Amino acid sequence: DTGVSQNPRHKITKRGQNVTFRCDPISEHNRLYWYRQTLGQGPEFLTYFQNEAQLEKSRLLSDRFSAERPKGSFSTLEIQRTEQGDSAMYLCASSRGGTYNEQFFGPGTRLTVL
């Protein structure tokens, strides 16, 4: 399977705990995006990388959220001191970049904060 993969697929945690998600993009894609989606809403942009450089970060993103892409391949998204409002689907997408920038999504990680 050469698509985008994400792990874990589901995560249940208690409020105040830290969680980390992983995304493996399509191998030849140099851009990687993180989104958050809640019920009835479209994906909300969080941050993106071109290779290992983090180029954009949403102003809505709390400082409890951090993302890395250390070697320009896989990426991790960490949420510290989780809150119930962090419960959502966390989506990763990758693209080749360029003018049109078609993005392909992974299956997502469903986070539930109790």
- With CB under 8 A as the contact rule, the residue among 51, 56, 81, 112 that binds other proteins is 56
Question: Is 89 among the residues that bind other proteins (CB under 8 A)?
Answer: yes
Strand 31-37 relative to strand 44-50, pairing: antiparallel
User: What's the token pair of residue 85?
Assistant: 């409002």
Residue 25, Cβ density class (10 Å: 0-12 exposed, 13-18 middle, ≥19 buried): buried
Question: Is 40 among the residues that bind other proteins (CB under 8 A)?
Answer: yes
Judged by CB under 8 A, the stretch of 12-20, 21-29, 72-80, 99-107 that binds other proteins is 99-107
104: Cβ contacts below 8 Å, ≥ 6 apart: 3, 4, 26, 29, 93, 94, 95
Q: Which is nearer to other proteins, 58 or 66 (CB)?
A: 58
Question: Is 27 among the residues that bind other proteins (CB under 8 A)?
Answer: no
- With CB under 8 A as the contact rule, the residue among 31, 65, 86, 111 that binds other proteins is 31
- From CA 85, how far away is CA 112, in angstroms rounded? 9
Question: Is 112 among the residues that bind other proteins (CB under 8 A)?
Answer: no
- With CB under 8 A as the contact rule, the residue among 15, 16, 64, 102 that binds other proteins is 102
